[in-house]
Copies of this chain bind each other. A is one copy, B any other.
């Protein structure tokens, strides 16, 4: 129990204690924070006032210094011990009757007054494709169910390198991309605004401990390299992707923007919600076999996609998906990613791939829900095949309930119109 009020159905209970980076109108410097109820706690303040007295360990000064930074990278690089110590310190100083209440209140900011920033400086961003139902749905759409999954799919976590420069925090608007598309009936490509703008509902993790180039991370140690988890929306331009992706994979269809939630939820908070991943029909190679977490590699969390159509007043829930629908765990992704000797740096971002369940309403993309634009989805009475300008998308996700609820907060983004007028002129085309 805390002297900080925690509203009902709040993602930020005392069971959570996520990490983020915020600033305020009166102090524009981004700084680390946690969330309790409807408040942000300024960890840069606490690390100068109460933490030096509460953290009883040799590394206390170093931990406090890491929390007076503009990102979480320095703190994350200190690993699990520091993370757990700060978590416990937050719980101690915010509890009812805490001797530190006065100091903590000086570090409290109403969430509505906090501007959230990208929580980490991301060196590299990798997106996997471990949502087996999603991969099966997509494969079925384009190649039929018999050939839906490629032969490699069950043996390794398929992934590709993404674009770090356009990873943005929840709330950042996403401008509709321009590019080349080439419908099957065309002899040559069109220049156009993306007509098949989509989302991808994903979980992501951030790297805490780096690994050296040339040194693979052992599967049993991979979890210790993770700082925590976040929601991610891997916006996707399906028409651009269909034309460009052979033979080197998605490129411009993805690099215009990827939105991450503002809050990083730790393993400590999610420990009680571990469950089994989708069973793999293949016996994976030993470097991918995680004994320690056998049957507990992923998280039993409810993820949701909500959309408020342009001009509408309300968000409607479109899809609900359980986060456990992955064939590979994040530690398996890290073990695979580094088996070549690829280096990981603190702050690297790894996406799970789109997560879908087994039926039509438990999907993570419009591509699946509309069968590549052949059917409509209904958003509170408004019909959509793909996202339109002005549509607002909200991802949410949580585990547990009541005082034990642990959630990510929101991962939100609104579609802005493309600069079509200017580029149509460059193209010598009429404005559409």
Whether the Cβ atoms of B161 and A285 lie closer than 8 Å is: no
Which of A105-113, A163-171, A393-401 forms part of the interface with chain B? A163-171
Q: Is A344 an interface residue (CB 8 A)?
A: yes
CA distance A227 to B67 in the complex (A): 36
Output the nearest chain B residue to A249 by Cβ-Cβ distance: B249
Partner of A214 from B175, B213, B218, B428 at Cβ < 8 Å: B175
Question: Which of A150, A151, A165, A243 has the largest number of chain B CB atoms within 10 A?
Answer: A165
Q: Is A339 an interface residue (CB 8 A)?
A: yes
0/1 interface trace, chain A 415-432, chain B, CB 8 Å (1 if under): 010010001001110000
Whether the Cβ atoms of B251 and A180 lie closer than 8 Å is: no
Give chain B residues whose Cβ lies under 8 Å from the Cβ of A136.
Answer: none
Give chain B nearest CB distance to A404 CB in angstroms: 37
Q: Is A282 an interface residue (CB 8 A)?
A: yes
Known A-B contacts A249-B248, A285-B191; the reply to A165 vs B213 at CB < 8 A is yes
Q: Is A302 an interface residue (CB 8 A)?
A: no
Q: Is A123 an interface residue (CB 8 A)?
A: yes
Whether the Cβ atoms of A282 and B340 lie closer than 8 Å is: no
Q: Is A410 an interface residue (CB 8 A)?
A: no
Whether the Cβ atoms of A164 and B123 lie closer than 8 Å is: yes
Which of A17-25, A152-160, A363-371, A376-384 forms part of the interface with chain B? A152-160
Which of A34-42, A252-260, A293-301 forms part of the interface with chain B? A252-260
Whether the Cβ atoms of B286 and A343 lie closer than 8 Å is: no
Known A-B contacts A123-B165, A243-B152, A250-B249; the reply to A255 vs B214 at CB < 8 A is no
Output the nearest chain B residue to A342 by Cβ-Cβ distance: B255
Q: Is A387 an interface residue (CB 8 A)?
A: no
Listed in ascending order, the chain A residues whose CB lies under 8 Å from chain B are: 123-124, 129, 150-152, 155-156, 158-166, 168, 175, 177-180, 182, 188-189, 191, 213-216, 218, 237, 240, 243-253, 255-257, 282, 285-287, 336-337, 339-345, 348, 416, 419, 423, 426-428
Give chain B residues whose Cβ lies under 8 Å from the Cβ of A162.
Answer: 161
CA distance A393 to B158 in the complex (A): 30
CA distance A390 to B164 in the complex (A): 34
Kindly report how many copies of this chain are found in the complex they form together.
Answer: 2
Give chain B residues whose Cβ lies under 8 Å from the Cβ of A191.
Answer: 285-287
Whether the Cβ atoms of B252 and A339 lie closer than 8 Å is: yes
Give chain B residues whose Cβ lies under 8 Å from the Cβ of A252.
Answer: 336-337, 339-340, 342
Give chain B residues whose Cβ lies under 8 Å from the Cβ of A286.
Answer: 191, 426-428
Give chain B residues whose Cβ lies under 8 Å from the Cβ of A161.
Answer: 160-163, 251, 255
Give chain B residues whose Cβ lies under 8 Å from the Cβ of A248.
Answer: 129, 158-160, 249-250
Which 5 A/B pairs are nearest by Cβ-Cβ distance? A249-B249, A177-B340, A256-B340, A255-B342, A160-B248
CA distance A246 to B147 in the complex (A): 13
Output the nearest chain B residue to A180 by Cβ-Cβ distance: B156
Whether the Cβ atoms of A344 and B247 lie closer than 8 Å is: no
Give chain B residues whose Cβ lies under 8 Å from the Cβ of A343.
Answer: 165-166
Whether the Cβ atoms of B282 and A188 lie closer than 8 Å is: yes
Whether the Cβ atoms of B337 and A255 lie closer than 8 Å is: yes
Give chain B nearest CB distance to A152 CB in angstroms: 6
Partner of A165 from B124, B158, B179 at Cβ < 8 Å: B124
Whether the Cβ atoms of A340 and B188 lie closer than 8 Å is: no
Known: A160-B160, A191-B285, A256-B342; 20 extra A-B contacts, CB below 8 A, are A124-B163, A124-B164, A152-B189, A155-B182, A158-B248, A160-B249, A161-B163, A166-B213, A166-B342, A168-B213, A177-B340, A189-B285, A191-B286, A191-B287, A245-B247, A249-B250, A252-B337, A252-B339, A252-B342, A286-B427
Give chain B residues whose Cβ lies under 8 Å from the Cβ of A129.
Answer: 248
Give chain B nearest CB distance to A251 CB in angstroms: 6
Partner of A287 from B182, B188, B348, B423 at Cβ < 8 Å: B423
